[in-house]
């Protein structure tokens, strides 16, 4: 568990799960607005930290269980508004029921009862503009704090490269969303897994370039008449642990198919 502070923002970074099924998760408390709520497996640590903080609301980038873990607790303990994309409200109202490997890493989350996220959220000192940014998930949003040059990207960025995609992902949509957010003013990316990324615009550009290179290769191979499975083997020749562990929920084929 690591805390880092910039201006009126606190970044809490945690490990979720047990080795070797362990991944980083980040949540941000920006002038009273909590952005994302970690995983079910980190819920108790998040609650311990938040007990001493003042909260005015919770904004969730998307409904996956590693962004919504402490949402029910926040709602019960603080009685503040909890926001998510309107098309994910029905899913949030039910507890998650994820496969074993995801339970080991992230854990299930309890049901919570969010409101549709508005176009912007104002805190005492900040204003967050909300933009749709599908790709990683169809109902994924990003938040921009223009004056600070900040953008909160949920799982749209995660890293410069990506070798497997989750079953909810659509890489063509992700390419469009990356292009769209590059039109906004920002220099720091706040990622829900890789944390605070300085030179954020360069990093988002690098990710877009990576996807566009992959798309170029896929289109070429498809023109030659290759099937998606054959294309996946050529473009991503390396064996991937997550594809095996997740029984195909994460795969290179998901990247190829959605291009």
Contact residues for Zn ion, defined by CB under 5 A: 64, 155
- In the numeric block, which tokens belong to residue 232? 């996946």
Select 60 or 231, whichever has its Cβ closest to Zn ion: 60
- Report how far residue 9's alpha carbon sits from residue 36's, in angstroms, rounded to the nearest whole number: 13
Select 61 or 144, whichever has its Cβ closest to Zn ion: 61
- Smallest distance, Zn ion to C-beta of residue 66, A: 6
- Residue nearest Zn ion, Cβ-based: 64
Select 64 or 85, whichever has its Cβ closest to Zn ion: 64
- Smallest distance, Zn ion to C-beta of residue 158, A: 9
- Smallest distance, Zn ion to C-beta of residue 98, A: 12
Select 23 or 226, whichever has its Cβ closest to Zn ion: 23
Select 155 or 173, whichever has its Cβ closest to Zn ion: 155
- Smallest distance, Zn ion to C-beta of residue 137, A: 6
- Smallest distance, Zn ion to C-beta of residue 170, A: 13
């Amino acid at each position: 568990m690591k805390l880092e502070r910039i201006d009126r923002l606190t970044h809490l970074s945690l490990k979720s799960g047990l080795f070797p099924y362990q991944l980083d998760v980040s949540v941000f408390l920006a002038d009273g607005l909590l952005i994302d709520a970690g995983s079910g497996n980190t819920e108790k640590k998040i609650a311990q930290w938040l007990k001493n903080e003042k909260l005015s609301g919770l904004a969730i980038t998307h409904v996956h269980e590693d962004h919504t873990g402490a949402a029910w607790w926040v709602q019960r303990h603080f009685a503040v508004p909890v926001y998510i994309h309107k098309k994910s409200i029905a899913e949030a109202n039910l507890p998650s029921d994820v496969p074993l490997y995801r339970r080991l890493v992230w854990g299930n989350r309890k049901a919570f009862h969010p409101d549709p996220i508005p176009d912007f959220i104002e805190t005492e000192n900040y204003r967050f503009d909300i933009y749709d940014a599908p790709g990683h998930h169809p109902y994924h949003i990003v938040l921009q704090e223009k004056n600070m040059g900040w953008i909160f990207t949920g799982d749209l960025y995660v890293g410069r490269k990506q070798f497997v995609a989750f079953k909810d992902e659509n890489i063509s949509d992700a390419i469009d969303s990356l292009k769209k957010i590059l039109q906004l003013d920002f220099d720091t990316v706040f990622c829900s897994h890789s944390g605070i990324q300085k030179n954020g615009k360069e990093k988002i550009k690098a990710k877009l370039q990576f996807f566009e290179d992959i798309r170029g290769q896929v289109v070429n191979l498809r023109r030659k008449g290759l099937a998606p499975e054959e294309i996946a083997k050529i473009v991503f020749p390396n064996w991937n642990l997550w594809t095996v562990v997740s029984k195909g929920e994460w795969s290179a084929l998901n990247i190829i198919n959605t291009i």
